[in-house]
Homo-oligomer: A and B are copies of this chain.
Amino acid sequence: MQRRQFIQHGGIAGILAAGSAPAFAQNAPVKWRLASSYPKTLDTLIGAVERASRTVAELTNNRFQIQVFGPGEIVPALQVLDAVQNGTVEAGHSASYFYIGKDPAFGFGTAVPFGMNTRQQNAWLYLGGGIELLNEFYKKYGVLSFPVGNTGAQMGGWFRKEIKTVADLKGLKMRIGGLGGMVLSKLGVIPQQIGGGDLYAALEKGVIDSAEWVAPYDDERLGLQKIAKYYYYPGWWEGSATLNLWVNQKPWNALPKEFQQVLTFAAAEANQWMTAKYDFGNPQALKRLVATGTQLRAFSRPIMEASYKAANEMYDEFNAKSPDFRKIHDNYMKFRDEQILWSRVCEEGFDNFMAYASQLKK
């Protein structure tokens, strides 16, 4: 397979090239392999990193090529970080919160319960020192990370029965991972870890009562609406979710500065693109779902408040245990609180009126 024939040029090309454009146009191209946690069918999640890879090739006249591999092609979906860390691949594409088993601090790079929305998260990452703070932590794992897409606020998932009170959560078997699952377990939910491909069968057979995934555009493809009628919002465990482009420190350091810049800008451009792509696709998918019987439901205020309280308790516990968690937590939450001071005024004032006005016309 051509895919296997790649030779890793990073180090040599980097040294030969060292900032001299004409010299390095004549060198063999730098070729990287990137392992993604997401299958090719999820054209927005993996689409963003495929886009960044294309941009890198285009802007360097193919002198820097990053080939994207799906889960299982090189390593399984949830071993992407390890593969980047141990140098099996130069780069990876994943969600940092898949790795909270190593340290709960891995949550912040993607999403934490009652965290920041997309705009706030971007402000923190790009202007508020978030990228630098996270990379300081990731350094322990020999990697660095670039934001490469944000999903926007995610839905709260599919439920076979209505969930009206906190008591209705008790004993509920729900497919939900990570920190959100930990918070919900404090309210009696039994969190289950099941891959996207197995969700339909698990829900149909009653192995689980409920499942959360992303939002209408992706969720519709899983077909869960055929089994579970109630579609809840918001997914407070993912008020936004940043995907990560992981890079091993060694091949990164060996890259010519120009290629480092190209990769940085390509990832940032893809970050914006992914949000726009979800925003573009979600409304139509939501309309189709509602037209075929899906019932939209908001989590009740008591459920939201109980979850918020449980999340803060969880943060207290992690802060006591992990100094890395505490350091990022304190920075992140202070930034979030200041962002909300502003966004609740003008941005939400506008959005809420537009939501109201859209109903006036009917």
Q: Chain B residues near A322 (CB, 8 Å)?
A: none
The residues in A between 238 and 287 inclusive whose CB is less than 8 angstroms from any CB of B are: 239, 258, 261-262, 265-266, 268-269, 271-273, 275-277, 279-280, 282-284, 286-287
**Which of B262, B296, B346 has a CB less than 8 Å from the CB of A215?**
B346
* A341-359 interface code vs B (CB 8 A; 1 in, 0 out): 1111111111111110110
- In the complex, the answer to whether A126 meets B233 with C-beta atoms within 8 Å is no
A121 to chain B, nearest CB (A): 9
Report how many copies the assembly holds. 2
- In the complex, the answer to whether A279 meets B25 with C-beta atoms within 8 Å is no
In the complex, what residue of chain B is closest to A275 when comparing beta carbons?
A: B119
- In the complex, the answer to whether B59 meets A262 with C-beta atoms within 8 Å is yes
13 sampled A-B residue pairs with Cβ under 8 A: A25-B25, A117-B351, A118-B119, A119-B279, A120-B279, A127-B277, A153-B351, A233-B350, A234-B347, A268-B272, A268-B273, A269-B269, A269-B272
Instruction: Give bound CA distance, A217 to B258, whole Å.
Output: 33
* A111-122 interface code vs B (CB 8 A; 1 in, 0 out): 000100111101
- In the complex, the answer to whether B346 meets A348 with C-beta atoms within 8 Å is no
Q: Chain B residues near A181 (CB, 8 Å)?
A: none
Asked whether A134 is an interface residue with its Cβ less than 8 Å from the other chain, the reply is: no
Q: Chain B residues near A8 (CB, 8 Å)?
A: none
In the complex, what residue of chain B is closest to A343 when comparing beta carbons?
A: B351
Which residues from chain A sit less than 8 Å from chain B, CB to CB?
21-22, 25-26, 55, 58-59, 61, 63, 114, 117-120, 122-123, 125-128, 152-155, 215-216, 233-236, 239, 258, 261-262, 265-266, 268-269, 271-273, 275-277, 279-280, 282-284, 286-287, 296, 298, 304-305, 308, 337-355, 357-358, 360
- In the complex, the answer to whether A348 meets B355 with C-beta atoms within 8 Å is yes
